[in-house]
Structure 1
Amino acid sequence: MVFDLLERLFNRNKTGSATVAKDRLKMVLAVDRTEIAPQTIEQIRKEILDVIVRYFEIDENEKFDVTLERERGSTAIIANVPIRRIRPEHI
């Protein structure tokens, strides 16, 4: 799946299995509460990364993360992307 591929490519920091399990559980709960299909979440992740890579050079040694956070009845998509610099053609 795309999500697993992105995790393998961009999650090169060593994290404990408990942390990984906790993060996955948070994502599962957020997806469940928003009633968004897991395939849709994976597609959103891929498309966000595609857009960011068009404009920025990203640090592939760092973790790329997109999460859903629910607070006070609304849900937010949070993208944490390690950016090295803007691509020269967009300056």
Structure 2
Amino acid sequence: PAPAPSGLEIRSPMVGTFYRASNPEAAPFVEVGDPVRKDSVVCIVEAMKVMNEIKSEVDGEIAAVLVQNGEAVEFDQPLFLVRPAGGAG
């Protein structure tokens, strides 16, 4: 089997519903292979009708999307793997 992607996890700061885009017609915020910067919005977690933008904590590249669009997520659940810029990860 292929090795599992490695990197730093972007985790959900709350329980809610995971959305890859700002609305159903919009393109996802990020795809695997996309570069991200610290504080780039990578997804939305909706909790109690509030759309919360989730941001990357590092500069790097999206290595994996770990959750499906519209999926319920738990507090601290990994959402993405980011390969940090400049090597290790």
Judge same fold: TM > 0.5, yes or no. Answer: no
Give the TM-score taking structure 2 as reference length.
Answer: 0.31
Bigger radius of gyration: 1
Which structure's residues are more often helix, by fraction? Answer: 1
Flag the structure with higher strand content: 2
Query: What TM-score does the superposition give when structure 1 sets the normalisation length?
Result: 0.30
